[in-house]
Amino acid sequence: MLRMTKLIDGGLHAEVLTEDTRRRAESFFRRHARKPRLDVILVGDNPASASYVRTKTKMAAEASIDGRLHRMQDEVSPGDLLRVLRSLNEDPNVDGILVQLPLPSDLDPQMVIEVIDPAKDVDAFHPINVGRLFTVNKVDPTVLLVPCTPLGCLLLLRSVIPPAGLTGKSAVVVGRSNIVGSPMARLLTNANCTVTIAHSKTLDLPGLCRTADIVVAAVGRPEFIRGGWIKEGAIILDVGINRVPTPDGKGKIVGDVATAEAIGRAAFLTPVPGGVGRMTVACLLHNTVTAAEMRMKGKSP
């Protein structure tokens, strides 16, 4: 039987969160006579990354955050990149530092991440922040830096299900990356879901997905998750942003879920574009103000 599928409006939830962030940023300005500041570093000219960082700095302005973009050549030496990061670490007016990933292949992303001051690590990728996320009892994103995409997914999930409603739900996270899959699984476990992390070696992925009340799709493969894999009434969070060709040559963006097939089966679904992506940027701005507030209070997040 076909059911009504509701699309979760990521743009709307992102606007509400950004408005809250703007209020916090303005209160910070009144207390410290400066705006919270976010410095974004883009190495090279990958067009998708260039577009993401432009959105991040543009949206920063809407939240009363001083967003600055540093562009570096593809062939920048590790030493030069590390020098820039160290000077941002030491600058008391810088609250958030983000290095856009992926990096060119001769730069080691883990080494770069570990140079960033954990108190300014608004991506929450530094091992100190990863460790905190995995060891705190209560995940409170106003005093803890939580990776932006999983935090956005959790907030969207909470917008369609009451907190107690997550208890005991089965969740399948497809993808085990440090950026999305792994922290997402932690957030869901912390919210009392029973979580399975699936990946490219998982056996019978369609069968596993069919058992899930909640599916988070973070594989980076266009429309990989088919409608027939979705349990009736499930909640589907689609993290994918994949550009695919179209006959008119313009191309289009699709998610990791075959949305047209999922409609009529899922209860709730995040569209692509207009779903998780919008929340990711809003969460980055939220984290920037959290980092600023915590550092000024002398409590590193």
Summarize as ranges the residues that interact with ligand GUN (CB under 6 A): 98-101, 123, 148-149, 179
Calculate the alpha carbon distances from 116 to 20, 21, 86, 256 in Å. Answer: 26, 23, 7, 31
Closest distance between ligand GUN and the C-beta of residue 147, in Å? 7
List, in sequence order, every residue forming a beta bridge with 243; answer none if it has no partner: 253
Closest distance between ligand GUN and the C-beta of residue 183, in Å? 10
Selected catalytic residue, list 66, 123, 213, 256: 123
Selected catalytic residue, list 35, 95, 100, 213: 100
Residue with smaller CB distance to ligand GUN, 100 or 259: 100
| Residues 222 and 210 sit within 8 Å (Cβ to Cβ) | no
Closest distance between ligand GUN and the C-beta of residue 209, in Å? 23
| Tokens matching residue 75 | 């062939």
Residue with smaller CB distance to ligand GUN, 116 or 262: 116
**Known catalytic membership, residue 299:** no
Closest distance between ligand GUN and the C-beta of residue 102, in Å? 7
- The stretches of 8-46 forming alpha helices (DSSP H) are 10-32
Residue with smaller CB distance to ligand GUN, 152 or 271: 152
Q: Which residue is nearest to ligand GUN (CB)?
A: 101
Residue with smaller CB distance to ligand GUN, 52 or 229: 52
Please, what is the Cα angle at 112 between 49 and 242, to 5 degrees?
A: 25
Closest distance between ligand GUN and the C-beta of residue 27, in Å? 26
Distance CA 45, CA 98 (A): 16
The closest alpha carbon to 146, from 205, 188, 174, belongs to 188
Q: Which DSSP letter does residue 4 get?
A: -
Selected catalytic residue, list 35, 39, 56, 95: 56
Helix (H) or strand (E) run with residue 214 in it: strand 214-217
Residue with smaller CB distance to ligand GUN, 123 or 238: 123
The closest alpha carbon to 57, from 43, 75, 73, 70, belongs to 70
Closest distance between ligand GUN and the C-beta of residue 2, in Å? 34
Q: What is the DSSP string of 139-199?
A: --TTTS---HHHHHHHHHHHHHS-GGGGTT-EEEEE---TTTHHHHHHHHHHTT-EEEEE-
**Known catalytic membership, residue 73:** no
The closest alpha carbon to 206, from 192, 194, 217, belongs to 217
**Known catalytic membership, residue 123:** yes
Residue with smaller CB distance to ligand GUN, 126 or 265: 126
Distance CA 280, CA 223 (A): 20
Strands (DSSP E) along 36-125, which ranges? 37-43, 66-72, 96-99
Which residues are catalytic, by number?
Answer: 56, 100, 123
